[in-house]
């Protein structure tokens, strides 16, 4: 079903909120990752405000879809999306990485309702998602499992064991969404450990493959809805994103992978995001 222009504008505003929340959280924390969270804001807005079957007032609802964040270092985007979706007050974003906070630098399942898994070591998330999806199939449940992974964690062996297992059990209730931003902390993924042809690798492992512009909300939703129609095999959506999307001085710069903006830089980022918000409203 095609989204109306009005609905697309609403989702873009949600993504803008998410980006502003990320910036405010990072500058308050004085540490954290910037590029990945910003480039995934459109996808998390699409998930929390359009795609997921979930209830912020009942985070443990048994019929909810499960969303796993394998690359836990980009958790500011998940926290921000959750806050704006109503899981907790937006003001709590300013406690990111503080001592005793629910918003740890990597998501911690027992601290924050609505977080399905504790993540940190890269490469684990898809294996956990495979287990959940297999459990749902075994129990006859119809909820889906969405796993957000980074491209760089495809350099981990465990991840590919999970890819094999998902195909073996024909887990068509499992969708892996890859943040294909081509960066990691040391530079380009293709310099550190080349991944392409990534789509062909998944096809060879018997997954259904979709690709899209990960910063185009309508395209993201279209591809995920198509993935949901796949039968007899798991699906992967390779979302091509721009690191630091929405903040001009961060875009495409891998050095923002693992650092936050200072106060002056944050103010500039928020000015840009507010200007973009006005364009969406216009």
Q: How confident is the model at residue 1 (pLDDT cuts 50, 70, 90)?
A: low
Report the predicted TM-score, pTM, of the whole model to 2 decimal places: 0.97
Question: 121: helix, coil or strand?
Answer: coil
Which residues are paired to 177 by β-bridges? 148, 237
The token pair at 192 is 């550190």
Q: Does domain 5-281 have CATH number 3.40.50.970?
A: yes
DSSP H or E segment with residue 206: none
Mean pLDDT across 129-142: 98
Contact 133, 171 (CB under 8 A): yes
The token pair at 159 is 């991840």
**Phi, psi torsion values for 146, nearest 5 degrees:** -110, 130
Strands 187-188 and 174-180: unpaired
Helices (H) and strands (E) in the chain, counts: 10, 7
Write down the mean pLDDT value for the chain: 97
**Of 60, 21, 53, the residue nearest 38 (C-alpha):** 21
Q: How confident is the model at residue 173 (pLDDT cuts 50, 70, 90)?
A: very high
pLDDT in tens, 223-269: 999 999 999 999 999 999 999 999 999 999 999 999 999 999 999 99
Give the model's pLDDT for residue 157.
96
- Residue 125, pLDDT above cutoff 80: yes
The domain segmentation of the chain, as residue ranges, is 5-281
Give the model's pLDDT for residue 120.
80
């Amino acid at each position: 079903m095609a989204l109306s222009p009005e609905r697309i504008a609403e989702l873009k505003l949600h993504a803008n909120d998410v980006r502003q929340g990320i910036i405010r959280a990072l500058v308050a924390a004085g540490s954290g990752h910037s590029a990945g969270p910003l480039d995934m804001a459109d996808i998390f807005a699409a998930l929390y405000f359009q795609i997921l079957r979930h209830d912020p007032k009942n985070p443990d609802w048994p019929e909810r879809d499960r969303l796993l964040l394998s690359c836990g270092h980009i958790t500011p985007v998940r926290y921000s999306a959750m806050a704006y979706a109503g899981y907790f007050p937006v003001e709590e974003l300013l406690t990111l990485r503080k001592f005793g906070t629910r918003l740890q630098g990597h998501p911690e399942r027992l601290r924050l309702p609505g977080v399905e898994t504790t993540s940190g070591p890269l490469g684990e998330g898809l294996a956990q998602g495979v287990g959940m999806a297999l459990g749902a199939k075994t129990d006859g449940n119809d909820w889906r499992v969405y796993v957000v992974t980074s491209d760089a964690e495809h350099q981990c062996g465990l991840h590919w064991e999970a890819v094999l297992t998902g195909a073996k059990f024909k887990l068509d209730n499992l969708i892996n969404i890859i943040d294909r931003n081509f960066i990691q902390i040391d530079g380009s993924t293709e310099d550190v450990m080349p991944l392409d042809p990534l789509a062909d690798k998944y096809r060879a492992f018997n997954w259904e493959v979709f690709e899209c512009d990960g910063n185009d909300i309508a395209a993201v939703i279209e591809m995920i809805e198509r993935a949901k129609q796949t039968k007899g095999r798991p699906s992967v959506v390779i979302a091509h994103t721009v690191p630091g999307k929405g903040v001009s001085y961060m875009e495409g710069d891998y050095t923002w992978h693992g650092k936050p903006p200072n106060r002056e830089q944050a103010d500039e980022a928020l000015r840009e995001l507010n200007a973009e918000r006005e364009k969406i409203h216009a």
